Structures are given as C-alpha cells and as structure tokens.
Amino acid sequence: MKKILFLALPAALLFSCSKSGGDDGPNPPEPNPGKQQDIAAVDSKLTGFLTTHNVPGATLAISKNGKLVYVQGYGFADQATNTKVTTQSRFRIASVSKTYTAVAVLKLAQEGKFSLDDKVFGEGKLLGTTYGTAPYNTNLGNITVRQLLNNTSGAWGAATGGDVIDQNPAYTNTQLFNWILNTRPNPQTPGALYDYSNINFWIAGRIIEKFSGKSYVNYIREDLMAPLGITQTDMAGKTAADRKTNEVTYYGQGNDAPYVYNIAFPRRDADGGLITTATDLLKFILAIDGFTTRPDMINATSVTALSTGSPVYASYGLGLGLWSAQNLWYNYGSLPGTRAGFMRHNNGMAIALIFNSRANPSAETAFVQGMQNLMLDLIKNTDYSWQDIDQF
C-alpha cells in the first residue's frame, strides 16, 4: 500500500480529506452539551472546508484554559445511510496515536520500569534477543527508548532505507519484528539524524506490552484513558465490518480509494491504530499539556521530556511536533480515508480536528495547508466569542 507521510512545511510537520449536497451548516445540536451557543463563523469555515475538499464529515473540539468550550459534528459519518457526524462519532486518528504511545512509555518510565535512555536490543537490554537473530550489529544494539520516540534511531525512515510498516501485511507482530531485524539492519548511528518512521513507534508498542503485561490497546484504555474518564478510545479495525460502535465510514479519494479498508490493523497499533472522538482526544491532550488548569497524568519531568526536541532536530519531541514560531505543540495523522490533528497553544487554547477522508495524495498540499491554517485561526483569532462553559 502506498502511504504518504507528513513532511515539514516551512515551520511545521505536515501529516488529507466529499461533501454530499444539501448540507450547508453544522449538524443539528445534540442534547445539552453545556448549552453551547453555536458560532456561525466557526461552523461556516468548517462546512466550507468540507465542500472545498470534497470531505464527507468532520468532528471538532476546542478548549480554552482547560474547558471544552466548543464541540461540533459536521457532515456525514456515512453517506449511504445519511448518518450525520455527531460529537460522539469516533474516527481513526492515524499518527496522532504516536502521542499516546509516547505518553504510555513515559508513564511506565516514571513508574521505574525502565529509563528513556535504556537500550532496547541485546543481552540484558529491554527487549533482549527476543526478536531477530543475535548477535545484532552495533548500531542496532545502541538504540535507546528515547531515540525511538524522537525518531533518531538511525533506521526505518525515508533517509535510512524506507519505512517498512506496511510490508508483509499477513505477518504477526513477532513475524514482522523478526523480518525487520534480520533484513533491515540499522544503517546509521543512533542519535545522528532525524528520520521519521512508523517502525520506531511500533517497536515502542512492544516495549509497552512487555513492561505493562497488557496488550498495547488495553494499556492505553485501562491505564491512560480510564483514569481520565475517557471511554471512546479503541483500536481501529481493518475492514468496514470491523468498525466499532459510532465509528464513521472512511472515504478514499483518487489513488487512496483502494486502500481505505486494507490497512494492517490491528498490527499497526502503536504507530497509527487508535480511534477516538474529538472530545476525548482533546481531554487527553489537556492531561499532558503542562498547564495547571487540569491535572496532568504525567509529572513535570515527563512533560519536559515529551516536549523537548533532540539535539539533531529541535522541532520534534517524543511523538510530538514542536512549533516554536507559533508557540504550540501539535501532531497530525494521515492514512487513506483519514486526516487528524491537534494543537496546544501557549495561550491556553487547544483544538482537535478529525476528518473521514483526505485529499488525493497527488493533490494534498492545499488540503494540508488549509487544515493547518484553519486550526491556527481557531486557536489564535481573538474575534471568536468562546463561552465560559465546560462540556467535558
């Protein structure tokens, strides 16, 4: 499957999105989410974006100083049945899952299970010689947990032999891991360059499983989400028949169309496999944002680690983009049929925005730029009259 990864816009990582006729505004309000007063200027921009980019549906959540001040569904969750997106609709979030993975690792490290600077492969190291055929080469043996999470492992990215996450889709996790270590040796010194890779986070998922004693998704649900009162985060299914309750239908445009329902879920878990609502995504982000408006699930040392770039690439922390010129943290996700993103600004605003389609990969630049500009406008433009309500 051909997959497009987000590369950098001038100042930010980029990580695209049909509108059926006759639906010119937000979907009808649902029963009493904090007596929200809809904002026409916000809703107009969202519905206009759907029309421009031929996207069936979207979900939006915005917070101010830790309060959920705006939440809305737009367009269609399923065009065939005319089912509208609601605030309870669940979407794939693709690479936004990487932020969850990084936080899960930080939580385990905070509990003393291991250190971020522990090495991963080899005798006496975190995963030992469980996978592949030992002895490993020197570079592989020197990869640390932190280097997996900040994409400086020296392997498995575009600059180091290519991302192989979609190779051998019928393989189990163990079979894929053995194949990767035996056939894709580490070509670069760990820590020497930034090279975005899904494999790094997929491996981190195996560390989470070993040291938590749970499957990746169960650890996310039970140890990260449940204490926050979040119940709608789960693992994506591969086929349309595998969709969870309230999960939207996904729509591929152009070259994406054949690939929407053959992604190797649930094997692709820790790098891009989660589904959730915009509200629950935003609640998670506010639990790691380092602000005092809501309690964080990780301590200040872990928040600092999460939001600190590497010596070779200051704009990427641990599963988290860092956009210093805009004073924000962010992450974007992209798979056939999915675009997702969040931003957390230093001004106390945060946003989650998810679509059930993305632009044809051959023409995605306008979509990605437009989505980014829309999110920046919603969290920076002081003309919007956000109510002092909390719908969490």
- 34-43, 111-120, 322-331, range with the lowest pLDDT: 34-43
Listed range (43-47, 73-77, 168-172, 350-354) with the worst mean pLDDT: 168-172
How would residue 21 be classed by pLDDT, with cut points 50, 70 and 90? very low
CATH of domain 100-212: 3.40.710.10
**Could you tell me where the DSSP H helices lie in 111-249?**
138-141, 145-149, 173-183, 198-212, 216-219
Q: Are 265 and 166 in contact (CB under 8 A)?
A: no
pLDDT tens digits along 57-84: 999 999 999 999 999 999 999 999 999 9
Average pLDDT estimate for 356-362: 90
Smallest CA-to-CA distance from 278 within 233, 219, 331 is with: 233
pLDDT of the residue at 9? 42
Cβ contact 340:333 at 8 Å: yes
Which whole number is the average pLDDT over 283-290?
Answer: 98
Amino acid in the structure at residue 240: A
In 3D, which of 118, 119, 115 has the Cα closest to residue 142? 119
The pTM of the full predicted model, rounded to 2 decimals, is 0.92
